[in-house]
Amino acid sequence: MPEVSTQSQRVRIPHGALDLSWAAVTDTGRRREVNQDAVFADFPLFVVADGMGGHVGGEIASATTIARMRGVADAGTVTPKAIEKALLRAVKDIAAHPDATDDGTGTTLTGVYLDTSGEAAHWVTLNIGDSRVYLVRDGSIVQVTTDHSVVQELVASGRLSPEEAENHPYGNVITRAVGPSDSVTPDYVRLDVVSGDRFVICSDGLTKELTDYGIRHFLDENEDPAAAATAMLAAALENGGRDNITIIVLDVVDASAPATGSSPAAT
């Protein structure tokens, strides 16, 4: 089991401050020989990538894309424009790599960043593929991102029930990824900043083994982000660990006001 530690940072936002705490972990799982997941978790950007394409290609695609996202975070200002420019560079990096020239080589990219550029701070989720962002607010867990997958399209069209989707043979087929095409644009969702929010950003190696209820259970049982991430990883491995597993747990506390809450909703 990898060692996991919680990091904390107080950040200034318009009209106040936030105390952020987070932890990240990635594991090969029990069935795979190589970990094709990659992760970057440091204020203001928290992202997970799940690579695909050959024995080595997926690892290259995810690591390359995360390296480009690290560059966006290091530049100090995370915006959709900066993200999309970095993704164009990542696609070229992947295509130019001698071990990742297969057309199927690519990666998901999913996460959240804090936007402090306006009159009020907002979280912004970004998503390409079927890794996920969950938000726990006022005791309810909501999947904020929408999977870019064949199965999700079948569910959305009413041709498949959520229960049928869990074991569908096309469960691993995604419809949008970084790498296979020249350009790709994430879906974005803006969220209010609410004290007490908990985010989980994860690859599908976690959601193959834990239901949404299971994720919420381990969050409820573990206040510390590192403890929560470790507990979820252990449960996912115990349930089979059929894929690489990557998890970020991010906690948000308003450092300048008492905790308040509302129903999870995009703005």
Domain containing residue 17: CATH number:
3.60.40.10
pLDDT in tens, 192-221: 999 999 999 999 999 999 999 999 999 999
Q: H-helix or E-strand containing 165?
A: helix 162-165
Domain assignment present for 85: yes
- Quick one: pLDDT at residue 171? 62
The number of helices, as runs of H, and strands, as runs of E, in the chain is 7, 12
Domain assignment present for 224: yes
Domain assignment present for 108: yes
Q: Which amino acid is at 243?
A: D
Domain assignment present for 70: yes
Total number of domains in the chain: 1
- Quick one: pLDDT at residue 53? 74
Domain assignment present for 261: no
- Quick one: pLDDT at residue 267? 43
Average pLDDT, the chain: 90
Q: With CA atoms as reference, report the closest residue to 45 among 98, 108, 123.
A: 123
Q: Is the pLDDT of residue 266 over 60?
A: no
- Quick one: pLDDT at residue 258? 56
Q: With CA atoms as reference, report the closest residue to 124 among 43, 49, 193.
A: 193
Domain assignment present for 76: yes
Domain assignment present for 263: no
Domain that holds residue 113: 7-254
212-234 mean pLDDT: 97
Name the more confident of 71 and 1: 71
Domain assignment present for 56: yes
Name the more confident of 183 and 60: 60
Whether the CA torsion 121, 193, 199, 161 is positive or negative: it is negative
pLDDT in tens, 119-173: 999 999 999 999 999 999 998 999 999 999 877 777 677 777 766 666 666 667 7
Q: Which amino acid is at 115?
A: D
- Quick one: pLDDT at residue 169? 64
